[in-house]
Structures are given as structure tokens and as C-alpha cells.
Structure 1
Amino acid sequence: MLLDGDRWRAKFREFQSEAWRLETLPQYLVPQESEELEAFRSGKRIDPHSYSSAYTEDLKRLQSEGKHKGRVHVLAQPLSEYLRFEFSRYYAPHALAGEEIRILDVTDRENPLSEVRDFWLFDRSTVVLMNYEEDGTQVNRELHDGDPTPFIEYQRIAVAESVPFLEYVKG
């Protein structure tokens, strides 16, 4: 089953303890980000320590309810322009607001998840496959109707092999 609109948003409203994502692409072409990406290209930056948005406020609310969001992004150096943008505009303020963002840098090592594509895992029981074109254009979101066990293992590997985002960017 494909998920969009309200059925997709419901996954984030209804999870009980954890919403977790694996990201594997060097760029995501998201129309809603085009203005922010252009501002980044022209040198505009945000202060992640004082930045607030509906997303950062939601992260804080989730934490207060004992829930959390997390993700691991698998990447290789040099960082794409999009990843530099994503680090600055999203990852930094979101990590400071409580999202557990981790980086699995496979520049000088074998990628333990090379055959795995992007997905969301909700409460370690519901998997949503994120389908993209090679250039990062989203095709659709597909509810996985099989066993979530392999995805739980992918999550375990990703977390074990990665480092926290804020540690990664400190170098």
C-alpha cells in the first residue's frame, strides 16, 4: 500500500515510542526545500542554537512524552552540496532539539548497508519503504507488508557502525 497525505502523516502522530529512519542518498530533491537551498547557496545560514520550527517544537514535545525520533545517514566524502545544506539547515538544529541523528561515513571502509534502501521504522514493527529516483526525487512511500526483522537488524547495524552527528561535525 502506498502512503501519502493523511495516511503518511498518521504514522508520525500514532507511533508509540520510536520513529527511526535510514537515509542512504547524497541528495534528496524536495520541492518544499528549494527556497531554503537557494538561501544556503547564497550564504545564508541559521543559528542552530536559537532556531525554532514546528519540527523542533514537535521533537521537544515527543521527548516530553517519552518518545523519540532518530536517523542514520550513510554517506561518503566529499559531502554533496545537498548534504552540506542538510547538515546546516536541518541536522544541527534537529540534533540540538533532541533528534538522535547519527552519521555512518563509509568513505574509507566497506558499507555494511550497501544493499539497503531508505526506510522509516515505526515502533520496531511497521516499515515504510522510501522509494526514490537515482537523483533523489521521491517516487513514493510504500508500507512494507513483510517481516520487520531484517529492518530492525539494519537499524542495529546502522546505529552500531555510526557516530552521533554533533560528534561527526566536530571532526
Structure 2
Amino acid sequence: MRDAYTPDDPSFLAFQGGPAFDRTEREQRWHRLIDTARSRGVTVRRARVVSLPASDYIRFEHAVTDSMNIAAGESVRWLPRRQTSDLALPGNDFWLFDDRVIRFHHFAGDGSIVEDELCEDPDIIRSCRRAFEAVWARATDHAEFKLS
């Protein structure tokens, strides 16, 4: 839901022309994590709400989605922020686990991670699930989504 994350991420800095960074180990860890979840029958979906024209960080995310997320077994869709004005969206990024637990991610204005918060409130979970499903239904699959 943000246009910038972790400004000191070495992979992002390399993407911007900074020092080289080998993402292999990071991607392998992520692939193992997603593989473990999928082996239990879990479906992993990621919806990204983005501003267009895209920020440098969103361009980076788009560029690494195939190797990081799709190759791991995630389904990824993108939705331009302009198409969300009539949706009630939570104010924070979140992960929803098995319709039982939400992990909210709190960030500073520059995208630096502040903290994560776990929530098991059924009303909040229902609200976030509805928001996610509304975004998912409107969003475009990664393979077809163009940033320009």
C-alpha cells in the first residue's frame, strides 16, 4: 500500500545503481518459506496498491516480482491507487494468516520499518479480508500489469 519501503535495502540500492547485491540467498529463504506454506495447502496471494506513475521503489518491486514472488509460488496482482477511491482499505500493510491472525506492518514516513503488530480481533480480520478481496477482484495479474 506504500510507494516506498526500506530505503536502505541493499537490493533496492543496487537496483538504483549502488553497490552490487546478490539476492540469491534472500530469494532462496523466501522460496523455502513459501514452499513450506504451499506444501500444507496454503495459497499465498499478494495484492499491491500503487501510485502511478510509479516510484523508484515500486519499479524495483515490479522488476523483482518474477524471481522473488512468482518463482516462490505466490500469486501477485497490482492495482493502481486511483482505482481504490471507493474501497475501504486499512491504513497499514498487512498479512492475513488462515483468517485467524493479521500481522500489521507499521512504517515511518520514509518507508523504514517501525514495528509489526499481531491482531486476532475477528471484526478487524473480517474487515481486512473484505478489503483484500475487493482489491484482488479489481487488480491485474503481475504478468499483464505494466507500470507505464
TM-score of the pair, normalised by structure 2: 0.78
The percent identity for this pair of structures is 23
Counterparts of 1:64 and 1:123, CA distance in 2 = 15
**What are the ranges of 5 or more consecutive residues in structure 2 without an aligned counterpart?**
none
- Aligned-partner Cα distance in 2 for 1:61–1:29: 26
Contact 2:94/2:104 (<8 A) preserved: yes
Cα distance between partner residues in 2 of 1:119 and 1:108: 19
Aligned equivalents of 1:160 and 1:56: distance in 2? 25
Matching residue within 129, 150, 153 for 2:130? 153
Alpha carbons 2:106, 2:116 under 8 Å: kept: yes
Structure 1's unaligned 5+ residue stretches are 1-23, 47-51
Alignment of 1:1-171 (within 5 A): 24-29=1-6, 31=8, 33=9, 35-42=10-17, 53-89=28-64, 91-93=65-67, 94-107=69-82, 110=85, 112-113=87-88, 116-147=91-122, 148-169=125-146
Q: Deviations along 1:89-130, whole A, 9 cap, x unmatched? A: 2x1211133101111113466362455321111101211221
Q: Deviations over 1:31-59 (max 9, x none)?
A: 4x2x212221128799xxxxx52212333
Say which SS state the counterpart of residue 68 (structure 1) adopts. Answer: coil
C-alpha separation in 2, matches of 1:170 and 1:133? 25
Amino acid at match of 1:127: I
**Which amino acid in structure 2 is aligned with residue 42 of structure 1?**
G
